[in-house]
Amino acid sequence: MDNIKIAVIANNTEDLLIRVTSVFHKRGFRIKSFVFDETNSPDLVKMDITAVGETSKGEQMLRQLTKLYDIKEADFMAC
Amino acid sequence: MLLTGSQIIIEVLKEQNVNTVFGYPGGHVLRIYNELFKNQDTIKHILTAHEQGASHAADGYSRASGNVGVVIATSGPGATNLVTGLATAFADSIPMVAITGNVPLRLSGTDSFQEMDAMSLTVAVTKHSFFVRNVEKLADIIRDAFKIAISGRPGPVLIDIPQDVQRELCNFNPQPRQEKEEHEQPQMDQLNKAIEMINEAKRPVIYCGGGVINSESADEIKKLAEKCDAYVIFSMMGLSAMNAKHPKYLGMAGMYGRQDASRVMAQADLVIAAGVRFADRGTGNKEKFAEKAKIIHMDIDISEQGKILKADTEVTGDLKTSLHFLAENITKKNNIKWSEEVESIKEIYGEKPADKKLFRPKEIIETINEILPKETVVATDVGQHQMWTAKYYSFSKPRTFLTSGGFGTMGFGMGAAIGAAVATNEKTLLITGDGSFCMNMNEVTTAVRNNLPVIVVILNNGKLGMIKQLQTYFYDKNYYSIDLGCKTDFVKLADAFGATGFRADNMEELEIAMKKAMEATGPVIVDCTISEDDYAIPMIPPNGSVQNIIT
Ligand SMILES: Cc1ncc(C[n+]2csc(CCOP(=O)(O)OP(=O)(O)O)c2C)c(N)n1
């Protein structure tokens, strides 16, 4: 069990959080910190998420996250 | 053009070439039904007995035709009843659009009558779901829903529309039909690596999943198999991607698959996996799966790459393009030694020929197969009958085998067969078990009302057969909660529903019943009494391999 940190740019929708957190839940990651911020564009938001779980599943979770319709970009950040 | 929200819904459905919807009315969709009433000539609405049935029907319609299946339900219980159908379609990557009504926005969040947050409810069972707050956005959201459903890896999408949004006026500009998003093209270096691997392989196998059917790549699979002289093995979702009579066809491998197919997979030196996700039922113990083989994994969905197995080459992108490119560019080969070896595995471990004196599932299914036209669409429910159908029915073209592979939904079959019969207007076969049939037999009323040519064959063992099988092999024969103790007379039941019923207790009666079923109009139910001691074996235990196959 280790920390992973992911940065996400996504559509600014009401239902974004519920979708994002459900992917973390599905792959067994517990969210430790969630920073949600506006961007220069009113349509987009950015999120910095730190979570703890099986790091070997991190890559796969990132791919599943990226697949969400509202996600524009998602990538790992250094922890 | 100034239209109400509900008029916009209908206009966009027409724009997307939708001519059939399945559904069930209720207070919060009555405005939509009022517009459906006015548009009966262009959009046919099929009323089902239950929203679950409507969702499976829309799914079956899509599986049989390749078009998007559309289902409409009311808020609250209407929406919750759709969930199993959406999950079933999601697990098997079937494009669907579900439209639900909801309470007016002013009541939203107040726990008002029949209020349910359908958008959140379906997050886990759809590719995407929308809640429409503003009529200005309605048309584009519906268009997006269609685009999402068909693009990339297909799947179901839900749109939840409050009643007042259905009523409000808005300017509407017609648009052309939504096309699929341009598929990501596979990368050249990956393809070239795959070509090299195929050219080097001496014992190649192609492993086909549902992606082959979704991407309409059956021809490409055949060409590839013939050119590199590979045998073709299937997951349950991939069956029907190749004519079962083809000499390189090896049928389904895995937990309930053919033993010869699983053994050939274990001996291969290369597995070319096409649109298959290595799900546990097909793969078993992933460490032992195709142990001697290198793997090329081709899929449109990058999140499938590496999810279960780490392939030696990952080809992400449109499957049809990849397969075509491979078939064009590999060297033509003849793997004589491999073919001899496979033929001898088939000889030893293949299915023994039918014995028509016996009235067993294998003989029943093969007999039905001989009597029905070759390209008949076959649906199943879930259980032993499903595995027997997958193993013994010879499919001859894509989209003729409709089964709940990923989700394993008992009760799927009746709705799915109805959807397929609506889509094809041809005789459609449902092979079901007595347990599964009882889950959604209410939909026989739908088939009767619409005079649909659905032939239901119940393989009636009086038990939840598959559960009995698992209790036999893994729970010390502690049989519990499997005895359906069914006194239901399915022939009389057919009659009571206004359908036609036959009983078949031996092969002769079955042949007569099936021939009459072919001549009948409207739905027919054939009740076949089978022994409760027939098992869907050989079986590879969960997380096992051919080494611990139960025969
Ligand atoms: C909705 C649902 N509930 C429970 C199950 C678990 N289950 C799988 S097979 C099976 C028994 C199926 O019995 P039947 O339809 O009579 O078919 P048979 O196995 O006898 O051919 C059950 C209960 C399921 N797959 N789906």
Residue A42, burial from CB neighbour count under 10 angstroms (0-12, 13-18, 19+): exposed
Q: Is residue B178 part of a domain?
A: no
Model confidence at A12: pLDDT above 90: yes
CA distance A64 to chain B (A): 6
Last residue of a domain, one of B349, B369, B404: B349
Closest CA to B426 of B389, B455, B401, B392: B455
Question: Taking all residues of chain B, what is their mean pLDDT, rounded to a whole number?
Answer: 96
Q: Is residue B109 part of a domain?
A: yes
HSE (side-chain half, CA atoms, 13 Å) at B442:
11
Q: Are residues B486 and B390 in the same domain?
A: yes
Q: Establish if B305 touches chain A: CB-CB under 8 angstroms.
A: yes
Q: Is residue B546 part of a domain?
A: no
Q: Are residues B311 and B369 in the same domain?
A: no
Last residue of a domain, one of B349, B369, B397: B349
Q: Are residues B395 and B504 in the same domain?
A: yes
Q: Establish if B131 touches chain A: CB-CB under 8 angstroms.
A: yes
Model confidence at B267: pLDDT above 80: yes
How large is the average pLDDT for residues B399-414?
98
DSSP three-state, residue B43: coil
Q: Are residues B150 and B280 in the same domain?
A: no
Q: Are residues B92 and B66 in the same domain?
A: yes
pLDDT at B356 (0 to 100): 87
pLDDT at B181 (0 to 100): 87
Rounded Cα distance between B23 and B69, Å, is: 11
pLDDT at A1 (0 to 100): 78
How large is the average pLDDT for residues B178-197?
91
Q: Are residues B110 and B246 in the same domain?
A: no
Q: Is residue B515 part of a domain?
A: yes
Model confidence at A79: pLDDT above 80: no
Residues of the domain holding B53? 2-171
Q: Are residues B325 and B466 in the same domain?
A: no
CATH number of the CATH domain containing B204: 3.40.50.1220
What is the tally of structural domains in chain B?
3
Q: Are residues B386 and B409 in the same domain?
A: yes
**What's the pLDDT band for B484 if we cut at 50, 70, 90?**
confident
Q: Is residue B176 part of a domain?
A: no
Q: DSSP letter at B483?
A: B
CA angle B521, B416, B362 (to 5 degrees): 80
ipTM of the prediction: 0.92
How large is the average pLDDT for residues B135-140?
98
Q: Is residue B547 part of a domain?
A: no
Q: Are residues B374 and B344 in the same domain?
A: no
CATH number of the CATH domain containing B443: 3.40.50.970
Our answer on whether the CB atom of B434 is closer than 6 Å to any ligand 1 atom is: yes
Which residue in B131, B303, B306 is closest to A67 by CB distance? B303
pLDDT at B487 (0 to 100): 83
Contact list, B131 vs chain A (CB under 8 Å): 14-15
Our answer on whether the CB atom of B445 is closer than 6 Å to any ligand 1 atom is: no
pTM across the whole model: 0.96
Closest CA to B20 of B72, B93, B63: B72
Q: Establish if B128 touches chain A: CB-CB under 8 angstroms.
A: yes
Q: Are residues B405 and B484 in the same domain?
A: yes
Cβ atoms B416, B59 nearer than 8 A: yes
Q: What is the pLDDT of residues B293-318, one digit of tens each?
A: 999 999 999 889 889 999 999 999 99
Cβ atoms B221, B213 nearer than 8 A: no
How large is the average pLDDT for residues B481-508?
94
Q: Determine phi and psi for B512, rounding to 5 degrees.
A: -65, -45
Give the number of the atom of ligand 1 that is nearest the alpha carbon of residue B461: 20
User: Are B131 and A66 inside 8 Å of each other by CB?
Assistant: no
CA distance A63 to chain B (A): 5
Rounded Cα distance between B291 and B437, Å, is: 39
Q: Is the peptide bond before B538 cis (omega within 30 degrees of 0)?
A: yes
For ligand 1, the distance from its centroid to the CA atom of residue B432, given in whole angstroms, is: 10
pLDDT at B184 (0 to 100): 79
Which residue in A26, A60, A68 is closest to B306 by CB distance? A60
Last residue of a domain, one of B349, B381, B408: B349
Residues in chain A: 79
Cβ atoms B401, B209 nearer than 8 A: no
Model confidence at B486: pLDDT above 80: no
Q: Which domains does chain A have, with CATH numbers?
A: 2-77 (3.30.70.260)
Q: Are residues B201 and B81 in the same domain?
A: no
Q: Are residues B72 and B192 in the same domain?
A: no
Give the number of the atom of ligand 1 that is nearest the alpha carbon of residue B84: 1
Model confidence at A56: pLDDT above 90: no
For ligand 1, the distance from its centroid to the CA atom of residue B539, given in whole angstroms, is: 16
Q: Is residue B418 part of a domain?
A: yes
Q: Which residues of A touch B (CB under 8 A)?
A: 14-15, 18-19, 22, 26, 59-60, 63-64, 66-69
